[in-house]
Chain A
């Protein structure tokens, strides 16, 4: 069982309270998106699940175990991709597999498979700087997917992409999630993206960040049969989608307006 649990997790950076008593439970194979105003500590939450940062009080658990370090059960897709510029596409994707000491013949097969899924065949020997932003992001996702992690942590992975590429990547992610569902924590400030991708959307307050409310998307998606529509714009046209989106927008907007007063 790969769950992610934030148990009264707070994080203080030099007397600035970044997040305060965050409580959130991501169930096994559930896709949860966190949205919130910028600077509210969304990324801090993800980094604590990754083991790159630690709560000042409270704790974060993955499964039953408290997170104390990064681990092979959790793969991270960073906002700025963080591909190694000195390694080819193949070697970037291979990096994590070699750490797990997977035999080389198996590695080759797994890399070939994930590059095929990510539409990167023929680019094995290219270097990151030779690829477009969308392709770089696909490599970053491939690098995480190839490890077949129980938990996937994604920090605004599509933030740096142009609108068209982003839409393609979102559709791709939904397809992948259907084929092979896993536990996902997804940070974004795109409300539509969150509603389109997630089973549940957690809304954070402005700093100090707390979880303000958690909206269930999945029940609506299943009741309204969103999955019958493959294109994102068709889903976004549906009344049920618009309704959820507006509800989240309103909730976020209250946060913005309190900031202004």
Chain B
């Protein structure tokens, strides 16, 4: 192979390659739809989608404009994700600390976590109908396992020297959990939040396709019924962009926590 393969590409090169990839993607898309190979009903041109997306920015479709749908999705998402983090992280930490709890919870958890978040949708629909509870339950199902698992791993694999130092310094169990176990697990917890945030967002939109009366997923289903492919694709783009932005924020958080303790 060429010697260049071993060399790390520069930042500019990475940007350039990324831009080239995107250009190729949109180019092919434009070509396929532009030459009339596929009917616009199935595959609208990028320009048509862009026009539709901009139109939806301030014109309602399925009850609200695109930004309002996004906000309504984000609201549910925030609630479901916070719930998953607020229960998953402490429970994971405690499972890493108390062997008994670990042995009790692990079998249930191991069985439940193989049920895909979307598989909770019928159940959620029965419980909550199209109310706010359904999507939240589905997001929770997606975001909870990574939150818990990573907090658990973080706590379980804390360097024993920190725990011993804390004990010789006279710390109570509560203080060891709050001031040693928790901060020592932060890098692992944050990466769990990142994975959970991604899965939660994916699950939410899946849930909205079925059990919601607003939100991006709902807008897409309505678009489908109206045979407005441009609306559907606009929704997909919005999902991608919001998911990317959420991940970007958590990536920043990850970088900050690592820098603070000299890991990066």
Extra contacts, 4 of them, besides A71-B170, A130-B262 (Cβ < 8 A), are A50-B168, A69-B167, A78-B164, A127-B260
Within 8 Å of chain B (Cβ to Cβ): is A96? yes
Contact across chains for A100 and B168 when beta carbons are under 8 A apart? no
Within 8 Å of chain A (Cβ to Cβ): is B59? no
* Nearest CB in chain B: distance from A149 CB, A: 10
Contact across chains for A78 and B165 when beta carbons are under 8 A apart? yes
Task: Give chain B residues whose Cβ lies under 8 Å from the Cβ of A257.
Answer: none
Contact across chains for B179 and A95 when beta carbons are under 8 A apart? yes
CB 8 Å contact bits of B154-194 with A (1 = contact, 0 = none): 00000001101111111110010001100110100000000
- On whether A84 and B180 interact (CB within 8 A), knowing A76-B165, A127-B262, A129-B262, the answer reads yes
User: 5 closest A-B pairs (Cβ-Cβ)?
Assistant: A129-B262, A96-B169, A99-B170, A82-B165, A86-B183
- On whether A82 and B175 interact (CB within 8 A), knowing A96-B170, A143-B169, the answer reads no
Q: Which of A93-120 contact B (CB under 8 A)?
A: 95-96, 98-100
CB 8 Å contact bits of A66-80 with B (1 = contact, 0 = none): 000111101110101
Contact across chains for A99 and B165 when beta carbons are under 8 A apart? no
Within 8 Å of chain A (Cβ to Cβ): is B261? yes
- On whether A99 and B172 interact (CB within 8 A), knowing A84-B162, A129-B262, A130-B262, the answer reads yes
Q: Which A residues are within 8 Å of any B CB, using their own CB?
A: 50-52, 69-72, 74-76, 78, 80, 82-87, 95-96, 98-100, 127-130, 143, 147
Task: Give chain B residues whose Cβ lies under 8 Å from the Cβ of A83.
Answer: 165
A19 vs B206: C-alpha distance when bound (angstroms): 62
Contact across chains for A82 and B170 when beta carbons are under 8 A apart? no
Task: Give chain B residues whose Cβ lies under 8 Å from the Cβ of A100.
Answer: 170
A246 vs B100: C-alpha distance when bound (angstroms): 54
Contact across chains for A72 and B170 when beta carbons are under 8 A apart? yes
Task: Give chain A residues whose Cβ lies under 8 Å from the Cβ of B164.
Answer: 52, 70, 76, 78, 82
Task: Give chain B residues whose Cβ lies under 8 Å from the Cβ of A69.
Answer: 167
Q: A95 contacts which of B161, B166, B260, B262 (Cβ < 8 Å)? A: B166
- On whether A52 and B262 interact (CB within 8 A), knowing A80-B161, A84-B183, A99-B175, the answer reads no
* Nearest CB in chain A: distance from B227 CB, A: 56
Can you name the residue of chain A whose Cβ is closest to the Cβ of B165? A82
Contact across chains for B169 and A85 when beta carbons are under 8 A apart? no
Task: Give chain B residues whose Cβ lies under 8 Å from the Cβ of A127.
Answer: 260-262
Contact across chains for A86 and B260 when beta carbons are under 8 A apart? yes
* Nearest CB in chain A: distance from B80 CB, A: 29
Contact across chains for B168 and A99 when beta carbons are under 8 A apart? no
A-B contact pairs, 13 of them (CB 8 A): A51-B168, A69-B167, A72-B170, A76-B165, A78-B161, A84-B162, A87-B179, A95-B171, A99-B170, A127-B260, A127-B261, A129-B261, A147-B169
Task: Give chain B residues whose Cβ lies under 8 Å from the Cβ of A99.
Answer: 169-172, 175
Interface centre among B166, B168, B171, B172 (most CB of A within 10 A): B168
Q: A52 contacts which of B168, B170, B184 (Cβ < 8 Å)? A: B168
Q: Which of B124-181 contact A (CB under 8 A)?
A: 161-162, 164-172, 175, 179-180
Q: Which of B13-43 contact A (CB under 8 A)?
A: none
Contact across chains for B260 and A74 when beta carbons are under 8 A apart? no
A74 vs B161: C-alpha distance when bound (angstroms): 16
Can you name the residue of chain B whose Cβ is closest to the Cβ of A71? B170
